[in-house]
Every structure is written in structure tokens, then in C-alpha cells.
Structure 1
Amino acid sequence: MLFVLLICSALISGSEVAFFSLNNNDVEELKKGESNTRLLKLRDKPRSLLATILISNNFINIAIIIISDLIFTELLPEGYFNNTATWFQENIFFLKGLSIPAISNAIIFFITVVGVTFLLVLFGEVLPKIYANINKIKFAKLMATPLAVLMFLLGGFSKILVKWSNQIESKVDKHKGSAKSRLKDDIDKAIDLTVSQEENAEEEADILKGILKFSDVLVKQIMTSRMDTVSVDMQTSFTEVLKVVKESGYSRIPVYKEDFDNLEGILYVKDLLGHTDNNQDYNWQQFIRKDMLYIPESKKINELLREFQLKRLHMAIVVDEYGGTSGIVTLEDIMEEIIGDIRDEFDEDSDIEFLRIDDNNFIFEGKTLLNDVCRVIGEDINIFDEIKGESDSLAGMFLEVTGRFPKVDSELDLNPYKLKIVSMTNKRIEKINLMIKR
């Protein structure tokens, strides 16, 4: 019986390593076989699977300990250790008050624990996990059916365990998030206190704060939306392409076919330099580069920067959850989050379109990003975090808070700020007046 339980313990322990070490290539290989459906279903429920494995393993280990104690007691009765117990009682002062049978039982228990622990660690944990790691696919296939049965039998226990772990995890994450936020606030204050009073000290402080918050910024917050992206259609004549290049001043331009959701590649303007004298029928499409990088809106910009470095790219196409093109993001956009606006000979006097009426009144384009609005009015970029929801622009926040499409002169009170719609089209908020109530 003890031998059977040890085998069960080894199989359960090994299955944990086998299932959770399967990589994407292993999964793709398993999907090719129709008999692996049960295995893949188990892998799709990692928390329930892990809970079932842990509960099963604990039950088996407890059974092994109980049976081992019974076997050991039968093989070595307490009288067998009486002489040893007597020696302990006579020579160890804190055992003098205990009886010989009690000391004898303690010795038996200690030997049992050491022996069982050795068996469990070696044959129930180490060896099966080493084997499962080497033969993970084979081991996972072997244990798929037994684990499916155990998951069905222990479903109630595993659901309770998963629920508890989720609650604990959410509380820990919440605590870590609030602690992280407090830490960043403290560092912000420390930067303001320690920065020198020399010229350009404010810019230096902004760079330090930008580095501090760099890992929390999403691509969606800094990208250029598809409505504001300069791009060209595949069917555009060479003359028109040159005109777009000259007017935009960009070195890389996305090329699409019929619709911006159907991108064909990126046109590098430097590839056209030797062909500017060609006529409008010139085949400029031959220079379209297909090596495009697609990224989700939710990607962190610190991760994107690493990806740009590894793939030696300067531009990425941002896609939404439905696979549509949301816009583009460039290496320059990322760097500006740290060091501020990077100005070149093609930039206008201000990338942020706004009108300052007085110190407390500003008129912004509806598409203006909240981060840029905060920089213009001199406020922390996180002041709207609690109310903006999923929005990133001033118009988006207005729609998020009100929950309806507004009309001209519609107002939104966000004490100490007040937003008022100045102009709009049927589908878009064009200009918003932001007033600071002081």
C-alpha cells in the first residue's frame, strides 16, 4: 500500500512540472493530435489544475505518513527503544521529568518523520520532477485522464482554494499598487526638494520625473491616432507622394491599400532621394518595406523601447482589441516622454494646438492628449486618472464622464476645472474651453 501511494505521489508531483513547463511550441504540437483535447482543456484552466494537484498531493502525503507510522510501530514496538529512552532520560536534564514510554514514542516519531520525509522528497518530488521535465509531453499525456477525474472529484475543494487565492492576490496587488503610488509621490517630492535653483533646474526635474513614470505609460497614451496620421494610398501617383513628403517632413510614411486598416508597409523617404526627377508614373511602390511591427494599445512604452532596440525599428503600428489600426507610435514619441519635446527643422512652433486666453482659460483641440493638457496648464499628469476611465484625450474624457454626445456650449464641472464645448462636428468634438477656477 505504501509503495502504491509513493507511486501516486510521484505521478501527481511530476504532472505539475509537465503541465506547467509546456511552451507554445509544445502546445502547437499537441493541437495537431485529436487525442490531446483533454490535456489542452486542463492547461486552459491553470489555477484549477494547480489547486487539484496540490490538494491531491497533500491527501496522498498525509496517507503516506499515517500508514508509515502504523507500519513502523508494528515493526519496531516501543519496548525496542526502552534502553535508548532510559539513556536519554538519565543524561539529558530536561527529559528527566518524562516517562520512558513517552521518550520511546518520541524517538519512533522522529525516525518515522525523517524516513518518510526522505522517501517523499526523493521518490515523490525530486526524481519524478526531473523525469517530467525531460519528458514533459509524454508525462502530460499520461496524466491527462487521471487529473481530469481528480479535477471532477475535487472540484468543490479546488474552487474554494482558487477563490481564496484570487482574493488574497487582489488584496496584495491593491496594497502593492497603493504602496507603489505612495513611493512615487514621495520620490516626486524628493526631486522637487533636492533639485537646485540653477537655470534649467525645472527641466532637469521633469526629466527625472519622466524616468520615474516611464514604465507606467501605455502606447495608447503617446501614439498618433489614425485620424492624425500622415499616410499614402498605394494608388497615389509619384508626384502626389513627393508632395505629401514635402508638406509633412516625415522620414517614414505608412502606405495602405484602400483603407488604413489594410497597411502594405512603410515608405522610407530616403529611398526616394535619387528619384525625385522622375515623372508621376514612376513605380515608387517598389520601395515599400514590409517589415512592420504591430503592437497592442496596452503595451508599456518601456517594453516597446526594448523591442525597437532589438529589431532596429523606429516606428510601430498600433492596433486595437479588434485588430483595427489605431495609429502609429515612433521612437521619438517614446523619448519625448522622458526628455520632453524633441524639436527639429520640420516641427511647427507648437505641436500642441491650443489658445491661451489668460492664465486660467485655455482652448484646446478635442483630440489633445490629457498628458499634453496637463503640461500646458502646469499640473501633474495624473490629476485626471480617477475620472478619465479608458480615455486619453480631452474630448474622450468629456464623453467618458458625461456618457453622452454633447452639444456646443455643453459644460462639465470637474472642480477645480470646468470644460465647455466650443465647437464640434456631427461626429467629433473639435475645440474645448478649459477653465481653472481659482
Structure 2
Amino acid sequence: MDDPYPSITLLVEISQVSTSYLLVNGLIFILLLLGSALVSGSEVAFFSLQHDDLKALKEDVDPNAQLVIKLVETPRKLLSTILILNNLINIGMVTLATFVTWSIFGTSASGLTLILVQTVGITFAIVFFGEIVPKVYANNARISFSLLMAKSLNFFSILLSPLSSFLMRTSNVIEKRIEKKGYSLSVDELHHALEMTSESTTEEEKDILKGIVNFGALSVKQVMQSRMDITAVDIDMTFHELMDKINKSGFSRIPVYSETIDHIQGILYIKDLLNHIEKEEDFNWQELIRKGFFVPENKKVDGLLKDFQKKRVHMAIVVDEYGGTSGLVTLEDLIEEIIGEINDEFDDGEDIKYQEIDPQTFIFEGKVSLNDFCKKLELDLNVFDEVKGESESLGGLLLELNNKLPKSGSKIYFENFEFTIIAVDTKKIKKVKVHIKDPEAKNINHNTD
């Protein structure tokens, strides 16, 4: 009866295998493992090349550098070549190991022997020496590794071209037949990914990237200047009254209304007045008014930016569902959502009026938008979404939380925020002290007193 487990008798069979046979096959296996390492490292090296790396390679006269650029210009073909080559090498190693195992232990060797030699030993060799080590090295030496492998990959790209082309065509057919599903990454997940970027990325660059991530999710209502902050002129003003208003405002474009701010007639460009500065008071400046651009409150800012580019305008009047004027948004407002505040010679240095008492206590005007409030305190832009209702200002949020106009000195709580009303009139909250009780606290129920 056959012994189902490896026994001492197998040592007799091992001794019958020649040393030269083991050396030759061992050398072949090591060469295949080296090839697998080089090919695996190539995948990381080529596909981690950055813009500056490619720019330097394009300027390099080294033929290998030009081959790298040639290969990178067809990424799908390059990836197919690498994957095919890597799998062929790995299959070759497994096949070689199988035959050598049979030669040593015999074809009737137990399954346990084959599992120990192939599954454990070969898998460890391929994963550690053929994948992990070369990819870690290639990530740190991507340019030199790419130059090293350029000629080899170019040769195999040509040699394996029929097979890689067939596989690419097949994958294209499958992609067209399968319903494409988009990524469902949240803004928080993208922010977390940005925080994990390399140390070479500065805080300013991270802030810009975060601004780009947030940009597509913002609505016009979140970034606009409210109607209370709009500087506009009455269409019935005399020319001298208009010039006095313009000189005090410092704006290059001013909305023009009839009777009330809800009836915007158009936009007056100050540059159109330059040739008429010396005109008399009866000058009909109304002829210079240009047609206004109106957008709804719920329009996304990325779509508005495209409209600005297409229509070649820098300002839009935001209207509510009833057609009344809700606010005003400019190209500068949109750009500031990405790169931060832009101050010119007419700005006071800080558009958002606030005072920092200590790292956890601040004083804000009630009219500040929730979007700007969150950015100043580096909060998640969606932190108040569940309780703000239709409000887009800090004062509006507090009215939603309190259900009535609070008195001066009242405190309103929400999660880890304590809002103290400093100034209030008969219509609105004018000034608020904000205290963050515990930056680490996440779940504090809101109430008022």
C-alpha cells in the first residue's frame, strides 16, 4: 500500500537527480524570476512618470529616453505588453517548478508535497521577489528604471503586437457591451485622498486641489453675494449722481435697476463711460447699459464658469424661483473658490469680516455665507446641510436652528458649536460669536436657551 505522505524513501529518488540538472533548472528559474521582477517594476516605473519627468525625457537626446516617450504615448498597448509578458514569465516559472518537482519526487508524489513546493515556495518567490521588491524600487527610481527597460519593452511590444492588439479589441467590445458605472466617491473621501498625497505637495497646492474637488458640488447660491451686499444704481439717476456713486464704489461693472433691485435692467461697464466723463448732467448714460446675464440659484458653479467663457461675461445676476434678485456672482467669486481670496487695491484686505479671539473662538457677521464660514474654519462644507434648510448664511442657519429671531446674548448649540448672538436688530442677526467646544467632538445634539 502506497504511503500517502512523503517518507524517507523519497530521499533515494532525490539522490537520483543529477546536480547539473538541478543547477541548470535553478539558473533558468532565477533568470525567469529576474525577468518577472523587471517587467513588474516597469509597470510602476512607466505609469508613475510625472509631467516634469516626461518633459525632461523629451528634452533628453538619449535614444532610450525617446523610446520611453514613444511607449508612454500608447499606454493601453504598453500595459497589455507588460501584462502579457509578466503572465508568460510567471506561467513559465510555475511550469518549470512543476517539472522539477516531479523529477525530484516523482509524478506519484503526494499532493501535500506539491502544495508545499509550488503554492508556498513559488508563490512567495513570485510575490516577494517578482512583485513587491521591484515595484517599491521602481517607484523611487522611475526614470532610471524606465530607461533601463525601454529597449526590451519596445522589442516585446513589437513581438507581442498581434496578441496585444487582439486583447485590446476584445476589451473594447466588452466595455461597449457592459454598462459603465461611475465612481461614487464622496467629497470627504477625495479630501482624505488629498491628505495622503506625497510630501512634495505643499499646503497651498492641496488647498487648490480641494477647491477643485468642491467646485463641481457648489451651487451659485452658495458662492454669490447676497442682494443686501449688491452695489447697484437706479436707472433714473442723473449723470453726475451716477459718477459720484461709481467713484465711491470702486467697481468696474455695476448692475442697473428700475424702481427696486428686483428689476435689474442690465449691467453698466465703467469702461464705457471713459469717453463721456466730461459730459453734462443731462447726458443719456442709460444708452450704455449692456444686457444682463441671469442665472437661477441652483445652477452649479462649474456650469456657470463654462457660460462665462462662452458668453464672454464676468458677472451674472442670480434670481430666485419668483424672478426676484437673489444675489450677484462674478468670475472672481468662482476663481476664489479654487485658489482662495483675491484682493485688489479697492478691497479692505479681507472680504469676510471676522475676528479670531483664540484658536477655538471667532466673531462673524451674521450675513457671512455658510460656504465662506466653513472655509475660514476649515470645516466640511456639508456640515450644516441637514439643518440649514434654504438658508445660505450664518444668520439664516441660526434662525433655522432657533425657529425664531433670537435675542442678543442668546446661545444656540449645534453639535460641537456654541453660537452666541452678539448683535441683532428687528429683522436679522448682525453679529455672532462662534465657539468650537471640542474639535474632536462629533455628536452633540443641538438645542437653544
Q: Output the CA distance in 1 between the equivalents of 2:272 and 2:241.
A: 16
Alignment check: 8 A CA contact 1:416 1:437 kept: yes
Aligned pair 1:328/2:328, yes or no?
A: yes
Question: Shift of residue 377 of structure 1?
Answer: 2.1
Provide the residue aligned with 1:190 in structure 2: 193
Letter in 1 for 2:417: Y
Letter in 2 for 1:228: D
Aligned pair 1:260/2:267, yes or no?
A: no
Match of 1:385, SS state, is: coil
Alignment of 1:372-383 (within 5 A): 372-383=372-383
Letter in 2 for 1:344: D
Aligned pair 1:306/2:309, yes or no?
A: no
Q: Could you say what the CA RMSD is over the residues aligned between the two structures, in angstroms?
A: 1.9
Letter in 2 for 1:325: T
Match of 2:242, SS state, is: helix
Q: Output the CA distance in 2 between the equivalents of 1:292 and 1:228.
A: 18
Letter in 1 for 2:298: S
Aligned pair 1:248/2:244, yes or no?
A: no
Letter in 1 for 2:206: A
Match of 1:216, SS state, is: coil
Evaluate the alpha carbon distance shift between residue 196 and residue 238 of structure 1 in structure 2; reply closer, same or farther with a 3 A threshold.
farther
Match of 1:298, SS state, is: coil
Alignment check: 8 A CA contact 1:238 1:280 kept: yes
Evaluate the alpha carbon distance shift between residue 381 and residue 195 of structure 1 in structure 2; reply closer, same or farther with a 3 A threshold.
farther
Alignment check: 8 A CA contact 2:361 2:433 kept: yes
Provide the residue aligned with 1:428 in structure 2: 428
Alignment check: 8 A CA contact 1:411 1:418 kept: yes
> Which runs of no fewer than 5 residues in structure 2 stay unpaired?
1-180, 439-449
1:10-49: CA deviation from partner (whole Å, max 9, x where unpaired):
xxxxxxxxxxxxxxxxxxxxxxxxxxxxxxxxxxxxxxxx
Alignment check: 8 A CA contact 2:220 2:298 kept: yes
Match of 1:388, SS state, is: coil
Alignment check: 8 A CA contact 1:215 1:301 kept: yes
Evaluate the alpha carbon distance shift between residue 212 and residue 414 of structure 1 in structure 2; reply closer, same or farther with a 3 A threshold.
same
Provide the residue aligned with 2:217 in structure 1: 216
Match of 1:207, SS state, is: helix
Q: Output the CA distance in 1 between the equivalents of 2:324 and 2:288.
A: 25
Provide the residue aligned with 1:91 in structure 2: none
Match of 2:392, SS state, is: coil
Evaluate the alpha carbon distance shift between residue 322 and residue 195 of structure 1 in structure 2; reply closer, same or farther with a 3 A threshold.
farther
> Structure 1 runs of 4+ off > 3 angstroms?
none
Match of 2:386, SS state, is: helix
Provide the residue aligned with 2:344 in structure 1: 344
Provide the residue aligned with 1:365 in structure 2: 365
Alignment check: 8 A CA contact 1:195 1:205 kept: no
Q: Output the CA distance in 2 between the equivalents of 1:327 and 1:373.
A: 18
Question: Shift of residue 195 of structure 1?
Answer: 4.5
Alignment of 1:21-100 (within 5 A): none
Provide the residue aligned with 2:203 in structure 1: 202
Match of 1:344, SS state, is: coil
Alignment check: 8 A CA contact 1:354 1:365 kept: yes
Q: Output the CA distance in 2 between the equivalents of 1:244 and 1:380.
A: 39
Evaluate the alpha carbon distance shift between residue 326 and residue 264 of structure 1 in structure 2; reply closer, same or farther with a 3 A threshold.
same
Evaluate the alpha carbon distance shift between residue 328 and residue 183 of structure 1 in structure 2; reply closer, same or farther with a 3 A threshold.
closer
Provide the residue aligned with 1:386 in structure 2: 386
Q: Output the CA distance in 2 between the equivalents of 1:262 and 1:324.
A: 7
Alignment check: 8 A CA contact 2:375 2:381 kept: yes
Provide the residue aligned with 1:270 in structure 2: 271
Letter in 1 for 2:391: S
Report which of the two has the higher share of helix.
1
Alignment check: 8 A CA contact 2:417 2:435 kept: yes
Instruction: Tell me which moved more, 365-374 or 376-385.
Output: 376-385
Alignment check: 8 A CA contact 1:417 1:437 kept: yes
> Which runs of no fewer than 5 residues in structure 1 stay unpaired?
1-175
Q: Output the CA distance in 1 between the equivalents of 2:228 and 2:378.
A: 27
Alignment check: 8 A CA contact 1:423 1:429 kept: yes
Q: Output the CA distance in 2 between the equivalents of 1:423 and 1:357.
A: 17
Question: Shift of residue 427 of structure 1?
Answer: 0.8
Letter in 2 for 1:415: E
Match of 2:196, SS state, is: helix
Evaluate the alpha carbon distance shift between residue 366 and residue 183 of structure 1 in structure 2; reply closer, same or farther with a 3 A threshold.
closer
Provide the residue aligned with 1:9 in structure 2: none
Match of 1:255, SS state, is: strand
Question: Shift of residue 340 of structure 1?
Answer: 1.1
Q: Output the CA distance in 1 between the equivalents of 2:379 and 2:344.
A: 26
Match of 2:368, SS state, is: coil
Q: Output the CA distance in 2 between the equivalents of 1:276 and 1:322.
A: 38
Identity of aligned residues (%): 50
**What is the total number of aligned residue pairs between the two structures?**
258
Evaluate the alpha carbon distance shift between residue 421 and residue 183 of structure 1 in structure 2; reply closer, same or farther with a 3 A threshold.
closer
Question: Shift of residue 207 of structure 1?
Answer: 0.8
Match of 2:397, SS state, is: helix
Match of 1:387, SS state, is: coil
Evaluate the alpha carbon distance shift between residue 221 and residue 392 of structure 1 in structure 2; reply closer, same or farther with a 3 A threshold.
same
Calculate the TM-score normalised by the size of structure 1.
Answer: 0.56
